[in-house]
Amino acid sequence: MDRSSNDSSAIDSEIRQRIRPITGRFTRPFGRPLVAHLAPGIWLVVLVAIGFGASFYSSHLEGLTLVPFAFDSASSFAINYEVYHVAAETAQSGGDFYDAPPERLSADYVYLYPPITLLAFYPFTLFEVAQGFLLATLTSMLAGAASTWAVVAYVEDHGRRLGWLDVALIFAFFVGSLYAAGTVVFGNVNLWLAGLLSIGFLALLRGREMVAGVAFALAALFKLFPALVGIWLLRVRAWRATAGAIATGIGGLLFGLVLFGREQTTFYFREVVAGRSESEAFVGGYGVGELNYVTVQRPVSWLVWTVYPGASTGWLYATTAVVLAGFLAFFYADLSRPMDRHAAIFATTAAAVVAFPALRWYVVLLYLPILVLAYCWEGPGYPFLVAGVVVFSTSPHPRDVYAVLESGIAPWWLETADGYVPLVDLLATFDLLAPLLQPFAPLAALGTTQLWGIALIALGCAISKVAAGTDPVSAYRQWRAGEGSLSLLEGITPPYGPGTPRDD
């Protein structure tokens, strides 16, 4: 441990000693301290994310009354939940649930998940849509609590004790950040899936492979892309988890076939799955004004059709696969440090989210890997994590970012914010930086803030990996020197072994 680390620990200890007399017996309610360690970087990014989420909540819940509780036909409030509810009712009556849009919505709002997943919404049909939505919102809050428990347990299993302040901020991150707010307001299932992935990763850490496999498969049954987490199971040779995931996934699809019939299952694969690739929109390069998709296919599409203007969409898929395979190979090269495993889990989950056109709300699935990295970081590169999460937490449309950077004209909201920020003239600062920002305008056309935030986090992880000598180049040098193996099969099998004793 270097001198700076010792100095930081000494300062941390001194501050906690000063806090303890003030908080008295409430310092360790239920055996957990209020503040275990100072973590300003983590607290900053969580508060920024919650700030954007609070703004989203306030703008969408304004004017809403609980009694009587009803939906405005012109509002997007609870639109996803209403689709689920109506589809479940239609299935119960024997109708075509893939062609059952709610009355207040357009024909485009139809059910898009495998037939078996409808069973998850059957209990909600015991209530009216509005009351069912409130119950679904409660389950999302419970899923956020489950994710919080998983993150806290995961971090503490690696020797980092968390205080109640950390627990509260982690829960707020899961239910109060911008992407969680969108999930709650629209009534989507993303927090459920984040909970399943979080529990799955914790179970895998603790050697509960069957639990992990089932949890991952249940998440993938709703939205297919979480199935790519299976690559991580293969990397760490979690064969029982892999078998459990495959059995759960195939079993769920077959059970849906038995319950709902061949026609609905066939329709799902032929029409729903095939129709969601939207590959034609990427031909020639994905436009900056198109839908706000978080996918690596955005920059890849520009690369493919710039190099080969006559390329078919197959080139897009092949190039995307090569890019993500290289990305994962870098982080899978050496898993000897806990930090390497944290980074690899982040890389796996990020690759699953960005591999296909995904809406920004799906990025809640990245929360456990991000928080684990934030609390368990090793080596250099941490500022890139902080910057990445801040960028990741913002959500302007790429066309708006492009317009601001290209024109050098400050956005309207900056003028409003200028009156609330003390000591700093935001408009003058923007005018000063505008000439320096203009060259970065193409980045807005190539990707979203979420994608660039993920890239910054990955860059920080890569810096840590290179500094520790666990990157592929170092592995190759060790192999040349006869000190290691190039095979990815030379991995580790869960559980990863006991963590460092907790600092109580």
**Ranked by mean pLDDT, which of 204-218, 391-405, 412-426 comes out on top?**
204-218
**SS3 of 461-497:** HHHHHHHHCCCHHHHHHHHHCCCCCCCCCCCCCCCCC
- The answer to whether 33 touches 157, Cβ cutoff 8 Å, is no
- The answer to whether 160 touches 375, Cβ cutoff 8 Å, is yes
> Rounded CA gap, 26 and 12, in Å?
19
Helix axis angle for 449-468 and 338-354, nearest 10°, is 150
Closest to 491 (Cα-Cα) out of 238, 290, 314: 238
Residue 246's alpha-carbon distances to 7, 209, 227, 233, 378, in angstroms, are: 50, 13, 9, 11, 34
Higher model confidence: residue 229 or residue 416? 229
Q: Please indicate, yes or no, if residue 17 is contained in any of the structural domains.
A: no
The model's pLDDT over 22-53, given as tens digits with 9 standing for 90+, comes to 333 344 556 788 888 888 888 888 888 898 88
Residues 6+ apart with CB under 8 A from 433: none
Q: Please indicate, yes or no, if residue 490 is contained in any of the structural domains.
A: no
Asked if the model's pLDDT at residue 238 lies above 60, the reply is yes
Q: Please indicate, yes or no, if residue 260 is contained in any of the structural domains.
A: yes
Asked if the model's pLDDT at residue 78 lies above 50, the reply is yes
Higher model confidence: residue 346 or residue 60? 346
Quick count: other Cβ atoms within 10 Å of Cβ 298? 23
Q: How confident is the model at residue 486 (pLDDT cuts 50, 70, 90)?
A: low
Average confidence (pLDDT) over 15-28: 46
Residues 6+ apart with CB under 8 A from 394: 52, 178, 449, 453
Range of the domain at 140: 32-276
Q: Please indicate, yes or no, if residue 392 is contained in any of the structural domains.
A: no
Domains identified in the chain, total number: 1
pTM of the model: 0.87
> Rounded CA gap, 486 and 478, in Å?
9
How distant is the alpha carbon of residue 374 from its chain centre? 14
Asked if the model's pLDDT at residue 10 lies above 70, the reply is no
First vs last Cα of the chain: how many Å apart? 20
- Say which range, 130-144, 158-172, 269-283, has the weakest mean pLDDT: 269-283
- Say which range, 24-38, 289-303, 483-497, has the weakest mean pLDDT: 483-497
Name residue, tokens 């062609």.
Answer: 99
Q: Please indicate, yes or no, if residue 63 is contained in any of the structural domains.
A: yes
What are the φ and ψ backbone dihedral angles of 273, each rounded to 5 degrees? -65, -50
Residues 6+ apart with CB under 8 A from 117: 221, 222, 252, 256
Q: Please indicate, yes or no, if residue 217 is contained in any of the structural domains.
A: yes
> Rounded CA gap, 180 and 177, in Å?
5
| Angle 28-29-34 from CA coordinates, rounded to 5° | 55
Q: How confident is the model at residue 408 (pLDDT cuts 50, 70, 90)?
A: confident
Higher model confidence: residue 400 or residue 179? 179
Tokens of 148: 């919080």
DSSP 127-180: S-HHHHHHHHHHHHHHHHHHHHHHHHHHHHTTT----HHHHHHHHHHHHHSHHH
Name residue, tokens 């299993």.
Answer: 157
Tokens of 318: 């092949």
Q: Please indicate, yes or no, if residue 184 is contained in any of the structural domains.
A: yes
What are the φ and ψ backbone dihedral angles of 219, each rounded to 5 degrees? -65, -40
- Say which range, 82-96, 143-157, 279-293, 476-490, has the weakest mean pLDDT: 476-490
> Rounded CA gap, 354 and 343, in Å?
16
Q: Please indicate, yes or no, if residue 174 is contained in any of the structural domains.
A: yes
Name residue, tokens 């700076």.
Answer: 4
> Rounded CA gap, 87 and 267, in Å?
15
* Cis amide linkage into residue 101, ω under 30° from 0: no
